[in-house]
A and B are shown apart, each in its own frame.
Chain A
Amino acid sequence: MTTPVLSVRNLVKRYGPHTVLDGVDLDVREHEVVALIGSSGSGKSTLLRCVNLLEELDDGQVLLDGVDVSDPRVDADVARRGMGIVFQAFNLFPHMSVLDNITLAPRVVHRVPRGEAERTALELLDRMGLADKARSYPDRLSGGQQQRVAIARSLAYSPRLLLLDEITSALDPELVGEVLALVRELAGQGRTILMATHEMGFARQVADRVCFLDGGRLIESGPPAQVLGEPEHERTRQFLRRIIEAGRL
C-alpha cells in the first residue's frame, strides 16, 4: 500500500487549559477527498491549521508523503510548499490585484518567472470564469468571486494537498453554489483534499470519506452514506439531528 499524502498521528493541541485536539489520527490518501464535520468548536479548523503548521503542536505528528513535517528541525516554510490552504474569510491581500495575489507564491517562493506565473494564473482564472477580473482588486469582487480567487491562489503552485477551511461559511447563500461547483470540479480532477465543512449535502456528494469530530476527538469516520445516513455513534446522531432541525440537510 502506498504512503498516504497526509498522515496525522496522535495530534494534540491545547490553548491554555483548554484541549482543542485530543489525540487525532487521520490519513488522507492520494486523490482522496475527506470532509471533516462537527459543531463549531469541535476542532475542525484547528486541525487544518495544525496540518498547515500555522499552529504549534502540543503532541503528535503531521506527516506529508511520509515525511514528519512537525519536527522542529524541519523548515515549516519548505513543508508548506506541498500544501495549499483556503480560509473561511478568504484572506486575500487587499493591496494586490487578483493576478498578483495568485502569482505571489509562484514568483517569490517557487522562483517561477513572472511571465510564466501570469500565464498559469490566467489559465486558472479562465477555467473559473474570472479571466476578466485579473487586474481587479479583491475588494471590488463579490464574496464568491473572492473565494474562487483564494482557491486559485492556493492552486497556483500545484500543491500535493489542498486544505479547505469552511470556505463557504462567510458567503451569501446564493454565492455558495459557484464555490462548491469549483470544489466539485477539483475533486473530479483527482486532487487530494481535506476540508472542514458545514455543507452536509455537499460532503455527501463530493467526499470519499466523512470524519465526525467532537470535543477534539475523531468520533467516527467512513463513507458519507454510512456516517451521514446510519451513524454508529450517539453523538454523531445528535449532531445530525440538530443539523436537520436547522433545515441544513
Chain B
Amino acid sequence: MTVSELQRERLAYKRFRSRRSTVVALLSTLVFAAVAYATVTGAPGWPRVRDSFFDVDVAWRALPAVLEGLWLNLRVLMVCGVLIVVLALGVAALRTLRGPVWFPVRALATGYVDLFRGMPLILTLYLVGFGLPALRLTGVPNDYVVLGGAALVLTYTAYVAEVFRAGIESVHPSQVAAARSLGLGPRRTLRLVVLPQAVRRVLPALLNDFVALQKDCGLISVLGAVDAVRAAQIEQARTFNFTPYVLAGLLFVLLAVPSARFADAMARRAERREGRR
C-alpha cells in the first residue's frame, strides 16, 4: 500500500490534532481536580467533616459488619432480580394481549402497574413490611428480609414490565406477519421472534433498572433487616462517627460499576453481531 506524500502529511496532522486534544483533556481534568480539592479542603468546616466522615480507623473496624450486611443485600438482589424479570415478562405479555375476552386480565395488569409504579417505594415497604404481618394470616412470613424483598419485587416488576412492553411494541408488525406466515402460533411468535428482538432493544434500560434495584436493596433496612445500610447505622450509633455510612456508600458504588460496564459490553456485542458499526 503506497501512500502519497499528501496523505502522509494529513495523517501526521491528524495525529498531531488527536495528541493536542489528549493534552487539553488532561490539563482541564487536572485544573478541575485542583479546584475541587482546594474548595473542599479550604472549607471552614473541613477538619470536622474529615474526622467524622473520613476516619480510616473507624472504616476499618466497621468493614466486617458492613460487608456482612452487603452480602445480605447481594442475596436479596439476586433473588429479587430473577423474580422481577420473570414476573415482569408475564405482566408485559398480559398487557399486550388483544381481544375483548382478555379485557379483565389486561385491566388487572394495567391497574397493578399504575398502582405500584405510582406508589413511593418506601410506602410499599412499610405497607408490605408492617401491614401484611399485622393481618396475622397463616402462611404470611414475618421475616423482614422476605417482606422487604417482596415489596421490591412488587415495585420493580411494575417498572420492568413497562420496559418490556415498550420493547415488544417497538418490534415492527411486519415481523409478526412474517412469523405468522410461517405457521407459528401467537405464543411461539412472541417467544421466538418478538421477545428476542424486544429484549435486545431494551437491554440498556433493563440494566439501568438493575443498578437502581441494587441501591434500593439498601432500603430494606427501614424494616429492620440488618443489611449494609443498617450495619453502618449500628456502627455509627456506637462510635458517633459517620464514616461507616461513607463506607457503605462506597461499597454500593463499587457494586454498581461492574453492572454498568457489563451493560455497555452487552450493548456493543449486540451492535457488532447485527453488523451495525
Contacts and interface: CB of A to CB of B under 8 A. Distances in A.
A61 B6 contact: yes
B7 interface: yes
Contacts of A72: 10, 13-14, 17
A59 interface: yes
A60 B13 contact: no
B4 interface: yes
B7 A58 contact: yes
B4 A60 contact: yes
B13 A10 contact: no
B3 interface: yes
**Chain A interface category by residue count:** under 10
Contacts of B7: 12, 58-60
Residues of B in contact with A, size category: under 10
Interface string B6-19: 11001001100100
Nearest to A73: B13
Interface of B is mostly: helix
B23 to A, nearest CB: 18
B49 to A, nearest CB: 48
A55 interface: no
Contacts of B17: 72
Contacts of B6: 59-61
Interface string A49-64: 0000000001111000
A56 to B, nearest CB: 9
B10 A71 contact: yes
Nearest to B4: A59
A61 B4 CA distance: 11
A134 to B, nearest CB: 28
Contacts of A73: 13
Interface of B: 3-4, 6-7, 10, 13-14, 17
15 contacts: A10-B4, A12-B7, A58-B7, A59-B3, A59-B4, A59-B7, A60-B4, A60-B6, A60-B7, A61-B6, A71-B10, A72-B10, A72-B13, A72-B17, A73-B13
Given A60-B7, A72-B10, 15 more contacts: A10-B4, A12-B7, A58-B7, A59-B3, A59-B4, A59-B6, A59-B7, A60-B4, A60-B6, A61-B6, A71-B10, A72-B13, A72-B14, A72-B17, A73-B13
